[in-house]
Amino acid sequence: MKSSIAIAIFDKAGHLEVDHGMTGVAVQLHTTDATKFVEMAFFFHQMWSSPFLIVGALIALYYFVGWAGVLSLSCIIVFIPVQGVSTAKVTGMRREVADWADKRLAAMGELLFGIRIVKFMGWEQPLANRIANIRKNELRIYKHMYFWRSVMTVLISFQPAAVSFAVFAIAYAFDDPIEPKNVFPTMAMLNVLRMPMIMLPLSIAKMVDLRVSLDRIGKFLAAPEKESYLKKQALGDDAFQLRDVTCQYIEDGKTRDIVAGLNASIPKNKLTIVVGPTGSGKSTLISAMLGESRVSASSTVIQDGSVAFVPQEAWLMNATVRDNILMGKPYDEARYIKTVKACQLMADLKQLKASDMTEIGE
């Protein structure tokens, strides 16, 4: 079940708008909330069977010690309001903890995704302070939540002993005979009663966690999905046509344009190169062609045939710098030096002890 939920979560994440801002939520749902189903599987049968065991044990106690066994039920009832308050507190704090955890994961994702810019701009400390503040709030909620969980644990541990004391105290007050023939069977029934009285509150606590997780997963799966704006039709000599394409993003609830009024045709069987400075919209153009960008209603993107996207990723052979530059081609000194100079690598090679014969890669 956990695997099925994880697949559904990541499948949904792939159908959300590119600027959904729920990456941290998806990770939290997969790592934490999906696990609640596994935990609840161990407690599910305890939750429905415990009341039957408690009722059966009380009936047996009535048989052995009379009304003292039944009146001990009042001791159980006394604990119910306190357990109810504890459960309600834990439920509310569980939601708060999940919200702060989502914020923390989102902040960490932003930091790791833009780590190069962070290092260039010297933003390490401000971002570290931001994450530390989020974590501080998360830990504060955790402390309150585990306080109330400790209260529940103390009640769970104390309740069986209190019921045992109540049974014999009431029997003594009613002058019921307390003899070996009914004391030992009564102790046996109290031991039978101990486990369901411990497991029932724990099962309820796990059900509370599962309910919170179900609400979070349901809210995520019900989030609106992006609508595909790609149209597939024959275009003759063109593989792509973009007509009046305006790429957008949402900031502070307002829609803003990134690239407006873009018109382009990408021919088939030819190499098309898009050149421009940083921030000019090259990646946005690729995203629009792949259907991964938010575009205006008037935008039209037509695709002829299938598309393969190969992202640019650095890759190094376990060889020398020269071998990585030549990539199997014969060494031509004049062309090699011209290439190195064109790539502005001369200063970098001088910093290496073996220059371009330095071994790199893994």
Q: Is the pLDDT of residue 14 over 80?
A: no
Mean pLDDT of the chain: 80
pLDDT, tens digit, 9 for 90 and up, residues 186-245: 777 777 777 777 777 778 777 877 888 888 888 888 877 777 777 888 888 888 888 888
Alpha-carbon distances, residue 42 vs 88, 154, 242 (angstroms): 22, 22, 55
Higher pLDDT, 82 or 48: 48
pLDDT interval class at 18 (50, 70, 90): low
Higher pLDDT, 140 or 99: 140
pLDDT, tens digit, 9 for 90 and up, residues 104-133: 887 887 888 788 888 877 888 888 898 899
Task: Print burial letters for 90-102: b (CB count within 10 Å at least 16), e (below 16).
Answer: bbbbbebbbbbbb
Q: Is the pLDDT of residue 269 over 70?
A: yes
For 269, list phi and psi in degrees, rounded to 5.
Answer: 60, 25
pLDDT, tens digit, 9 for 90 and up, residues 292-344: 777 777 788 888 888 877 777 777 788 888 988 898 889 999 999 999 998 88
pLDDT, tens digit, 9 for 90 and up, residues 84-94: 777 777 777 87
pLDDT for the residue numbered 17: 67
Q: Is the pLDDT of residue 352 over 80?
A: yes
Q: Is the pLDDT of residue 96 over 80?
A: yes
Q: Do 212 and 91 contact (CB within 8 A), yes or no?
A: yes
pLDDT for the residue numbered 167: 76
Across 270-299, average pLDDT = 81
- Least confident range of 6-20, 256-270, 303-317, 341-355: 6-20
Higher pLDDT, 43 or 127: 127
pLDDT, tens digit, 9 for 90 and up, residues 161-175: 777 777 777 777 777
pLDDT for the residue numbered 177: 67
Of residues 349, 350, 361, 354, the one with CA closest to residue 319: 361
Of residues 200, 149, 203, 196, the one with CA closest to residue 40: 203
pLDDT interval class at 44 (50, 70, 90): confident
Across 55-66, average pLDDT = 78
pLDDT for the residue numbered 36: 80
Residue 253 class from Cβ within 10 Å (0-12 exposed, 13-18 middle, 19+ buried)? exposed
Higher pLDDT, 345 or 43: 345
Of residues 12, 320, 100, 50, the one with CA closest to residue 201: 50
Higher pLDDT, 188 or 23: 188
pLDDT for the residue numbered 338: 92
pLDDT interval class at 24 (50, 70, 90): low
Task: Output the six-digit token pair for 196.
Answer: 């369901």
pLDDT for the residue numbered 248: 76
pLDDT for the residue numbered 221: 81
Across 132-150, average pLDDT = 88
